[in-house]
Amino acid sequence: MKSLSAILLVLFSAVIYAQDDAVVMQDSLVDSDSNSFIEDHKNQLNIKFDISNDIPKYFITFDDQKVGIKPNLNLRYALDFNHKFASVRLGIRAPVSDAEKEEKGDSYVLNLRVKLLFEKWAHKFEYLYVRGYHIDNSENLTENDIQYQIQFPRLKTNIYKGSTAYKFNENFSLRAVASQTEIQTKSAGSFMPSIDYWLYTIRGTDEIINVLGEPDKRDTYNNFKGFTTVLNAGYYYTYVYKKYWYAHAYLSPGLGADFYTIESYSPDQNTNQNQTNFVVSLKSGIAVGYNSQKYYFGLAYNNRSTKENPYTDTFEFHSSRNIFHAFIGYRFKAPKPVAETIEYLEKKVPILDKDVK
């Protein structure tokens, strides 16, 4: 409840300090050309509140069985701050009950994402740290009555993610769906190739809380570290209805490789194994929403279907996922500190000022 109160306070403050319609129009760059496909609102600051079920999940081998592990999270909240070329997301931990903590353990999550969106190029950088996992569906591992999910209280994941994409059609606005700093006023689509990459470590599988709720030290366990890169060939399309209502869809198949090391520990010996997995992925998604000059809202569904060709069944980092989002946001005149900071960066890096316009 404290997290929700803080979010509502931020959004309420944004509304209080928002300017009237005349100021909003003055601070945006609305193209009067009837042939224009894009309405520019990059000079404004917009704040977006997002709720999703984007919970990280991986597969490991436990007691000679392949099991899924995930943190004790129900939903994920986030605040996005978008101005000109910059978009910054701060993740907020959703509260869980004491009963859930006892059953599935406690999890700590730190998430920070930055997007740099230019006229043709789009870059995304994200850091995700999670400590505390449990095995999903632990009842599959025992015939006894289950009292607790099997937990990994010391299991930590450090993940650095990034992507770079290039847009071919200048009439298509990626910013309209990625940061809401523009409005797509007419239907348009674009071919967008991209490259995704991950650098990750997963450590701390040596200690568990068993189904009886008791600490248990494992004699044999594995840690993992690796790097993945995937090349994608995607097409993105936005259908516009009466200027502000829209439906967006995309399809992006990809091929890549996962290079990782398995650090195996046992009473007899410790070994390192270097492995390479061939990765085939298909990213797709749909979204519907309303994007006006002052506020916007919408729903989105994203899917990533992934197939790996592992040389070992020990570990699977890229699992298929279905993610739902609900979001709402508001535009207002950018506060002076924010505007001055972005202007300073544009002066120090001239390509930013040239590319953002």
Query: Is the pLDDT at 26 greater than 70, yes or no?
Result: no
Query: Is the pLDDT at 8 greater than 50, yes or no?
Result: no
Question: How many residues are there in the chain?
Answer: 357
Predicted local distance difference test score (pLDDT) of residue 288 = 97
Do residues 259 and 226 touch, judged by C-beta distance below 8 A?
Answer: yes
Predicted local distance difference test score (pLDDT) of residue 87 = 93
Query: Is the pLDDT at 301 greater than 80, yes or no?
Result: yes
Query: Is the pLDDT at 121 greater than 70, yes or no?
Result: yes
C-alpha to C-alpha distance for 138 and 148, rounded to whole angstroms = 8
Predicted local distance difference test score (pLDDT) of residue 312 = 58
pLDDT digits (tens, 9 = 90+) for 136-185: 866 555 555 555 678 999 999 999 999 999 999 999 999 999 999 999 99
3-class SS of residue 312: coil
3-class SS of residue 342: helix
pLDDT exceeding 70 applies to what percent of the chain?
A: 83
Helix H segments across the chain?
2-17, 21-27, 98-104, 175-178, 336-348, 350-356
Among 106-115, 240-249, 285-294, 304-313, which is the least confidently predicted range?
Answer: 304-313
Residue among 80, 146, 144 at smallest CA distance from 113: 80
Query: Is the pLDDT at 127 greater than 90, yes or no?
Result: yes
Domains in the chain, please, with CATH? 2-356 (2.40.128)
pLDDT digits (tens, 9 = 90+) for 225-265: 999 999 999 999 999 999 899 999 999 999 999 999 989 89
C-alpha to C-alpha distance for 281 and 307, rounded to whole angstroms = 6
Predicted local distance difference test score (pLDDT) of residue 4 = 43
Query: Is the pLDDT at 35 greater than 60, yes or no?
Result: no
Query: Band of the pLDDT at 291, cuts 50, 70, 90?
Result: very high
Mean pLDDT of 183-196: 96
- Most trustworthy range by pLDDT among 18-22, 212-216, 267-271, 321-325: 321-325
Mean pLDDT of 330-340: 88
Query: Band of the pLDDT at 27, cuts 50, 70, 90?
Result: low
Do residues 194 and 238 touch, judged by C-beta distance below 8 A?
Answer: no
The two tokens of residue 41 are 């609102």
Query: Is the pLDDT at 131 greater than 90, yes or no?
Result: yes
CA atoms in the 13 A half-sphere facing the CB of 329: 32
Bigger pLDDT: 143 or 192? 192
The two tokens of residue 315 are 């570990």
Query: Band of the pLDDT at 318, cuts 50, 70, 90?
Result: confident
Query: Is the pLDDT at 338 greater than 90, yes or no?
Result: no
Query: Band of the pLDDT at 98, cuts 50, 70, 90?
Result: confident
Amino acid identity of 299? Answer: L
C-alpha to C-alpha distance for 165 and 315, rounded to whole angstroms = 29
Predicted local distance difference test score (pLDDT) of residue 19 = 41
C-alpha to C-alpha distance for 317 and 262, rounded to whole angstroms = 12
Predicted local distance difference test score (pLDDT) of residue 51 = 94
For residue 209, what are the β-bridge partners?
151, 215
Sign of CA dihedral 347, 351, 354, 355: negative
Phi, psi dihedrals of residue 72, rounded to the nearest 5°: -85, 80
User: How many other C-beta atoms can be found within 10 angstroms of the C-beta atom of residue 70?
Assistant: 17
Predicted local distance difference test score (pLDDT) of residue 7 = 44
Predicted local distance difference test score (pLDDT) of residue 353 = 58
Predicted local distance difference test score (pLDDT) of residue 142 = 54
Mean pLDDT of 328-337: 91
* 66 to 130, 312, 313: CA distances (angstroms): 21, 11, 8
Across all residues in the chain, what is the average pLDDT? 84
Bigger pLDDT: 6 or 76? 76
pLDDT digits (tens, 9 = 90+) for 48-71: 999 998 888 888 888 778 888 899
Residue among 94, 88, 125, 89 at smallest CA distance from 108: 94
